[in-house]
Amino acid sequence: MTSRERVHLALNHKQPDRVPLDLGATSVTGMHVTSVYKLRQALGLDEPGTPVKVVEPYQMLGEIKPDLMEALGVDVVSVGMPKNMFGFENKDWKPWTFWDGTPVLVPGDFNTDPEPNGDLLMYPEGDKSAPPSGRMPKGGFYFDAIVRQEPIDDDKLNPEDNVEEFKPISDWELEHIKKEVDRLYNETDKAIVGSFGGTSFGDIAFVPAPQLKYPKGIRDIEEWYMSTVTRKEYVREVFERQCEIALNNLAKIHQVVGDKISVVFITGTDFGMQTGPFISPAAYRDLYQPFHRRINDWIHENTNWKTFIHSCGSVVEFIPDFIDAGFDILNPVQCSAVGMDPETLKERFGDKITFWGGGVDTQKTLPFGTPEDVRKEVAERIRVFGKGGGFVFNSIHNIQARTPVENLVAFYEAFKEHAWY
């Protein structure tokens, strides 16, 4: 069975020959570059000192090359936009060394000059004449967004200011997407996940707009969250305009790639905390669900793509609404959060939505457990979620820096041992 066939069967709630595996197909199912380096060394794929590319500089995610995919049995690949979250292209690679000594390659516009205090600042579009939009503290492993909020005058607030980053897709971007999709579809047997942006309404990672030089509108994180209550109609107008642009862009993308894409990443907005919902289900249904439904309805009416929602934390109360909104896939399936018991999730929703993730706890088990702890958890999650299909194996969110390499090896060895039906 090819990887593409395997994934398609699982997404249609049928059992393939084994559970499909994802690593790196989205910005929330990857691995920190330092952990990618350690895993490649442990598997004997590189000589010591061989650098790994940073393909997502905001979270410092590492490239999952074809040889690593082959070694692990990865079934999914990704296609995204040509520019990263800081607004510059991943090209003109140059060497850089992490605080812990890991050798990596970063894009040419990545700032590699630390501040006097050791912090590393990142600039929108790599332009140091603009205010910095990201900060990696000295000794840190990824960037925090820098809030650049102009004084807010409610009488002058214009929803268009919060839509500046959502633009009609360009011919250049369409050509990039078409070329990459055609290459991966023809040269691999993997299922393709498209991440095209613009459909993630209220994703707090994007609200500060780290790719914009001088963002306007509501860009402060606290102010944005409060505005979903105190300025709800303003936020609704932002979402309305964003949705119009997104639907037009999706139509253009589908024209050039057709159904060579299997899955499209829709949203990464988090609606759950560790202990319960971040907002009420009623608030989700009022402000977010109508736009999710419009996006999902268009996709299901015009394509064969499956739609993917990432929402961390305890989201069990939202899952019926996610399903009602038309989502096919839920990630990261944070089983350690309140109410997110794997057996219960599978029993209640396993025939209605695909669980993509849930393979191991990246907060405790993977970084702090023993290899045997990791093996036991992987075996149990596959046993529960794998029944009847509807499961794509991945860790719960990105695998972080400083994860013991013996636990990484145990994670994938256990998957190989237990993934076959």
Could you say which DSSP state residue 343 is in? H
Any domain includes 131: no
Q: Identify whether 100 is part of a domain.
A: no
> What integer best gives the mean pLDDT of the chain?
98
At 416 the pLDDT is 98
Q: Which two tokens stand for residue 49?
A: 């000192």
Mean pLDDT for 70-88 is 98
Work out the pLDDT band at 85, boundaries 50, 70, 90: very high
Residue with tokens 């019926």: 320
Return the CATH number at 261: 3.20.20.210
Residue 253 is given by DSSP the state H
Instruction: List the domain range (segments joined by +) for residue 194.
Output: 3-87+150-418
Instruction: State pLDDT tens for residues 117-126.
Output: 999 999 999 9
The answer to whether residue 223 sits within a structural domain is: yes
In a domain, 101, yes or no: no
Question: What distance in Å separates the CA atoms of residue 225 and residue 222, rounded to the nearest whole number?
Answer: 5
Pair of tokens at residue 337: 């959060």
Percent of the chain whose predicted confidence (pLDDT) is above 90: 100
- The encoded tokens of residue 290 equal 């109508």
Torsion angle defined by CA atoms of residues 110, 112, 116 and 117, in that order, rounded to the nearest 10 degrees: 80
pLDDT band at 149 (very low <50, low <70, confident <90, very high): very high
Q: How confident is the model at residue 258 (pLDDT cuts 50, 70, 90)?
A: very high
Q: What are phi and psi of 258, to 5 degrees?
A: 55, -140
> What was the pLDDT predicted at 124?
98
* Residue 320: both structure tokens together: 């019926």
CB neighbours of residue 62 within 10 Å: 29
Radius of gyration of the chain from its Cα atoms, rounded to whole angstroms: 21
Query: Which tens digits make up the pLDDT trace of 203-230?
Result: 999 999 999 999 999 999 999 999 999 9
Closest CA to 288 of 273, 303, 268: 268
Residue range 46-64: mean pLDDT, rounded: 98
CB count, 10 Å around CB of 234? 18
Cβ-based neighbour number of residue 270 at 10 Å: 18
Taking CA atoms, 108 is separated from 30, 70, 88, 93, 204, in Å, by: 22, 29, 9, 5, 27
Q: What is the mean pLDDT of residues 367-395?
A: 98
Residue 136 lies in a domain: no
The 10s digit of each residue's pLDDT in 284-335 is 999 999 999 999 999 999 999 999 999 999 999 999 999 999 999 999 999 9
The pLDDT of residue 126: 98
For residue 418, name the pLDDT band (cuts at 50, 70, 90): very high
Beta-ladder partners of 108 = none
Confidence of residue 54 (pLDDT cuts 50, 70, 90): very high
Binned at pLDDT 50, 70 and 90, residue 159 comes out as: very high
pLDDT band for position 129 (50/70/90)? Answer: very high
pLDDT of residue 345: 98
Could you tell me how many helices (H) and strands (E) the chain has, helices first? 13, 14
Query: What is the Cβ-side half-sphere exposure of residue 154, based on CA atoms within 13 angstroms?
Result: 8
With CA atoms as reference, report the closest residue to 401 among 2, 54, 14: 54
What average pLDDT does this structure show over 335-341?
Answer: 98
Tell me if 32 sits within 8 A of 219, measured CB to CB. no
Count of structural domains within the chain = 1
What is the pLDDT confidence band of residue 191, given thresholds at 50, 70 and 90? very high
Q: What letter does residue 259 receive in the DSSP assignment? A: G
The answer to whether 194 and 253 have CB atoms below 8 angstroms apart is yes
